[in-house]
Amino acid sequence: MIASVSTRPVRVAAPFWVVLALLGGVAWLVAANEARDMGAGPGTMGMTFPFFIGMWVSMMAAMMLPAIGPQAAGQVLAYVPASVAGRLPGVLGFGAGFLLPWALYGVIAFLVLSGVDSLVEDSPETARWLGVGILAVAGLYQFTPAKRRALDHCRMALHASGVGSLVGDLRAGILDGAVCVGCCWPLMATLISVGVMNLTAMVGLAAVIFAEKVLPRPRLVAGIAGAALLALALAAAIDPSLLPGVVMDEMPMPMSP
């Protein structure tokens, strides 16, 4: 069942959006610190599965939580006649549920990146064109009906299940997070091409996601992002250095004295 987003005043919903934005800010500090230390490289970059999933969830929280503020606040404000403090657990439950499908996506991403580790060593040319192909597919997906349907859902509707309960808010977050995966999975897949810990890419993706979910004319934003990704794919086909996620960085050997 789909329910409309609450039309309560923005000033009422703002505190909840601020809370999610602050949590996203903390996640940014964690992700940015690790990205600065690790840099952008191919595959899993030596990360163990538990560390990777923890880092992946931090990245998704950084990129997603500020953008889902209106959804989370609208879900709780629409169905919970309580004080600000009383509604806060529901907002946090929605946010936690929203991240669960992205954590599952991270499991798939880890398996793919593990394969990329081997591919980069065994067949560098294949790995390079895989990176180009991922960027091209991500760009084309931005123009598809599937993208438009998922994006419309992200902006205009919430799942109203278990109304008024923390479990209901958690379940609503899971359902809307799953739709968000359907909307944004190709965007996140571009991290395979440019490096999973590429901080510049994280910032760019976060900006696109925020603009698609919050700003006016989301389809225009999606189209601009799609065109940019197609242009990047073309540029990467010419210059492989744009694909640090699938191209081994060959450092020049120091000359002997």
Instruction: Tell me what pLDDT residue 104 has.
Output: 96
Instruction: Tell me what pLDDT residue 132 has.
Output: 96
Query: Is the distance from CB of 31 to CB of 101 less than 8 angstroms?
Result: no
pLDDT tens digits, one per residue of 132-172? 999 999 999 999 999 998 888 776 544 444 445 778 778 88
Distance CA 68, CA 18 (A): 11
Mean pLDDT, the chain, whole residue set: 81
Distance CA 65, CA 25 (A): 9
Which of 31-45, 108-122, 124-138, 201-215 shows the lowest mean pLDDT across its residues? 31-45
Q: 120: which residues sit within 8 A by CB, 6+ positions away? A: 42, 43, 127, 246, 247, 248
What sign has the CA pseudo-torsion 212, 218, 224, 226? positive
Counting every residue, how long is the chain? 257
Which of 73-77, 170-174, 213-217 shows the lowest mean pLDDT across its residues? 73-77
Which value, in Å, is the radius of gyration of the alpha carbons in the chain? 19
pTM of the full predicted structure? 0.82
Distance CA 185, CA 101 (A): 11
Question: Dihedral of the CA atoms 175, 178, 182, 184 (nearest 10)?
Answer: 110
Residue appearing with tokens 């990205």: 35
3-state secondary structure of 64: helix
